[in-house]
């Protein structure tokens, strides 16, 4: 379901509450273009967990493939500093 930013402004959070009784997510359009997705906290936590599990799988794969570097804290901080200045 798509609502406009103006509808949300006028009706407030109660509009979202009523929509979440039937929907998992609500799109908010701004000037005719979909700009935001609102989900309830349970769905957000589920999606975040999926994201973290995927990141964990990718790290395990990198370790198995030897695709990582080992360095001291000082070396790592220097590398981060250099990346920020580029």
Q: Whole-prediction pTM value?
A: 0.66
Alpha-carbon separation of residue 38 from 44, 46, 69, 76 (angstroms): 9, 14, 38, 37
| Domain count along the chain | 2
* Residues 50, 78 share a domain: yes
Average pLDDT over residues 7-17: 92
Each residue's pLDDT tens digit, 25-76 = 999 999 999 999 999 999 999 999 999 999 999 999 999 999 999 999 999 9
* Residues 48, 21 share a domain: no
* Residues 49, 30 share a domain: no
């Amino acid at each position: 379901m798509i609502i406009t930013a103006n509808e949300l402004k006028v009706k407030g959070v109660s509009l979202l509450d009523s929509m979440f009784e039937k929907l998992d997510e609500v799109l908010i359009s701004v000037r005719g273009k979909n700009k935001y997705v609102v989900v309830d906290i349970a769905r957000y936590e589920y999606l975040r967990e999926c994201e973290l599990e995927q990141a964990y799988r990718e790290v395990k794969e990198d370790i198995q493939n030897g695709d990582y570097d080992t360095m001291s804290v000082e070396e790592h901080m220097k590398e981060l500093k250099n990346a920020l200045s580029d």
